[in-house]
Chain A
Amino acid sequence: DMKVTQMPRYLIKRMGENVLLECGQDMSHETMYWYRQDPGLGLQLIYISYDVDSNSEGDIPKGYRVSRKKREHFSLILDSAKTNQTSVYFCASSPNRGISNERLFFGHGTKLSVL
């Protein structure tokens, strides 16, 4: 069906609480991404995963960690969330067929508010 699904769509947490954002895709894509979007800053790369248990930091990894135990599933974890992590988080995936020109498929985003 070629979908990237993010759960939940909206989340409100208190500062200091742990946060789990989940992402799934049904295309067997090897590569998956987590981005955050803030006004005027575009999409900033948090983490990239090349396959199961093969993760790499992006440009803004501080305060985040990820988990990928199955190819179709990629989680973003915020341990002890901070108010400046309030943002919209997007998950994306792309195939890895030996070339780098594949487009990204995006989920619909998770709007996280940390109070």
Chain B
Amino acid sequence: AQKVTQTQTSISVMEKTTVTMDCVYETQDSSYFLFWYKQTASGEIVFLIRQDSYKKENATVGHYSLNFQKPKSSIGLIITATQIEDSAVYFCAMREGGTGGYKVVFGSGTRLLVSP
């Protein structure tokens, strides 16, 4: 069964610094897709970035990037030049490929607080 684990409950950083959030996953599939979502204070959940398991290059979108370490089953989210508005809860998620591959499993989330 697929599983996603985020061990960092909360992180506090100063504005304009770089932060890394950890995520490890378990899957029996050779093909899978990893996602990061952000939940704002209003409760809205938005998609940030995705990594396909068969791609070696780390995904990057704006000031978000991923550190994909396949042998360690790890997908870290890196936010550079953090801003106050990056304060939110960040969820890691995984979707397995294949014919049954529409189930999406989430980690428990990491709360990020960015201070001025």
Chain A residues lying within 8 Å of B37, measured Cβ to Cβ, are 104, 106
Identify which of B6, B45, B93, B107 gathers the most chain A CB atoms within 10 Å of its CB: B45
How many A-B Cβ pairs are below 8 Å? 63
Number of residues of chain A lying within 8 A (CB) of chain B: 27
Contact B102 A103 (CB under 8 A): no
**Are A106 and B107 interface neighbours, CB within 8 A?**
no
A41 to B5, CA, bound (A): 10
Least CB distance from A3 to B in Å reads 12
Query: Which residues of A does B touch, CB under 8 Å?
Result: 31, 33, 35, 40-45, 48, 50, 58-59, 88, 90, 92, 94, 96, 99-101, 103-106, 108-109
Q: Which residues of B are in contact with A by a Cβ distance under 8 Å?
A: 6, 9, 31-33, 35, 37, 42-47, 50, 52, 91, 93, 95-98, 101-109
